[in-house]
Amino acid sequence: MTVQIRPAAPDDLNLICRLRLQRASWLAARGSDQWSTEAAGLSIDYFARVVERALTAGETWIAEVNGDPAGTITVNDRADKQLWTDSELADSLIVHYLIVDLRYAGHGLGSRLLAHAATVTRVRGRHWVRLDAWTTNSELHAYYRRAGFRLARIAGPDRRSPSCALFERHIDSWPTDDTLVPARPASFRMRPLARYPIVLPAFG
């Protein structure tokens, strides 16, 4: 398996939106309200505008497996200031929209993308990778714990955001080179997408 992480280009916007729709549909099928507009999640149109801004700013990356786009991550210094303190924001970069294509789920691509976020953070001279996770998605919280993050806190009930579970990881806990993240065996196989009950709305 060859995994490469490249800067996303403007014409990757449709791909990223489709990944988000795919994952939102998968979450809904599992009973989660994450990313649903009913639970104050971003509409797909608003999401597209936010991601387009990140693409223009060079803040988004695409993971490719053997040349096939397989996941995405956005890393920048913007976050809901109601969630993080000024001092926390000053010494960190924030992860947004970590999404792995369901065909590649379970093969460590999310960890590779998070390691890339740590590399970007180190290059920018900051020391923490931070993110906010959907408050009610306990499975997602467990994922970030397995990925080496610790729960900093759950933001108070006065916060309007549906993503109030705040996680962080210090860059010193990663290898200094994200290529040192263990690769999966060469026998990597895509999961057949047909196994998942997904309906993708048209976009673009």
Extents of the domains making up the chain: 3-181
**Domain 3-181: top CATH class:** alpha beta
Contact call for residues 76 and 60 (beta carbons, < 8 A): no
What is residue 156's predicted lDDT score, i.e. its pLDDT? Answer: 75
* Strand arrangement of the beta sheet that strand 128-133 belongs to: 3-7, 60-65, 68-76, 92-100, 128-133, 165-170, 150-154
Contact call for residues 101 and 188 (beta carbons, < 8 A): no
What is residue 177's predicted lDDT score, i.e. its pLDDT? Answer: 59
pLDDT in tens, 5-15: 999 999 999 99
The rounded mean pLDDT for the chain is: 86
What is residue 35's predicted lDDT score, i.e. its pLDDT? Answer: 79
What is residue 174's predicted lDDT score, i.e. its pLDDT? Answer: 95
Give the sign of the dihedral formed by CA 12, CA 15, CA 21, CA 23: negative
Q: Please state the rounded mean pLDDT for residues 65-75.
A: 96
Which has the higher per-residue pLDDT, 158 or 101?
101
pLDDT over threshold 70, residue 170: yes
Q: Please state the rounded mean pLDDT for residues 60-64.
A: 98
What is residue 117's predicted lDDT score, i.e. its pLDDT? Answer: 98
Which has the higher per-residue pLDDT, 128 or 181?
128
Confidence of residue 90 (pLDDT cuts 50, 70, 90): very high
Confidence of residue 82 (pLDDT cuts 50, 70, 90): confident
**Least confident range of 28-37, 138-147, 190-199:** 190-199
Considering only CA atoms, give the Rg of the chain: 16
Polymer length in residues for the chain: 204
pLDDT in tens, 130-166: 999 999 999 999 999 999 999 999 987 767 788 999 9
